Structure 1
Amino acid sequence: MEKNNVSSISHADSLEKMGEFWDTHDFTDFDTEAPDVECTVTCAVPIELELFSAVEKQAHVHGVIVETLVNLWLQQKLIEQTSIA
């Protein structure tokens, strides 16, 4: 940090002082007008190439993308399994 620069929140004029400030403060305590961010978590599950190819064909037949079809099928299967148990 340059000598003339001061941190807008901590008012620290060095990286060391800034670090000391954030050691004792939480950024959520400050209203920064930053918009909330929505995140989605995705997972990759390896499947056999032939199985993926068959799912791709079914997705095309149903007019949806592979991810949509797989999620729908998994939800249906989980509902079936839950109602059996």
Structure 2
Amino acid sequence: MSKARSYKEIGEFWDSHDLSEYWNQTRPVKFEVDIQSEITCYPRESSLSAKVRSIAKQRGISPESLLNLWVQEKLRKQKG
């Protein structure tokens, strides 16, 4: 399957491939997920909230996920 070396490469691979192409290469696995998250609230304009909800809905993700992606992207650019 994918020879990706980063989460970005993994995402790019699966954006252009379908699991059905690789189904015969899969096997059952068991794993645990330990997601560590923290809830922090930041005030924002109500019009921004409506826009975020709309864009998230178009992309099929939650507003929280969309905001996390955007903040991560912005922080990566700030480090550069």
Q: Which TM-score applies when normalising by structure 2?
A: 0.53
% of aligned pairs identical? Answer: 33
Aligned match of 2:70 in 47, 69, 73? 73
Q: Which amino acid aligns with 1:49?
A: S
More helix by proportion, 1 or 2?
A: 2
Amino acid at match of 1:42: I
Aligned with residue 63 of structure 1, among 60, 64, 68: 60
State the AA in 1 paired with 2:78: Q
Q: How many pairs does the alignment contain?
A: 46
Larger Rg belongs to: 1
Which aligned runs of 4 or more in structure 1 are off by greater than 2 angstroms?
A: 38-41
Change (3 A) 1:57 1:78: same
Deviation at 1:70, TM superposition (A): 0.1
Q: The residue matched to 1:79 in structure 2 has which SS?
A: helix
Alignment of 1:45 with 2:28, yes or no, is: no
Cα deviation, 1:10-61, whole Å, max 9, x if unaligned, reads xxxxxxxxxxxxxxxxxxxxxxxxxxxx864210111100011001000001
Greater relative contact order (Cα < 8 A, sep 6+):
2
Q: Please, which runs of 5 or more residues in structure 1 have no aligned partner?
A: 1-37
Gap regions ≥5 residues in structure 2: 1-34
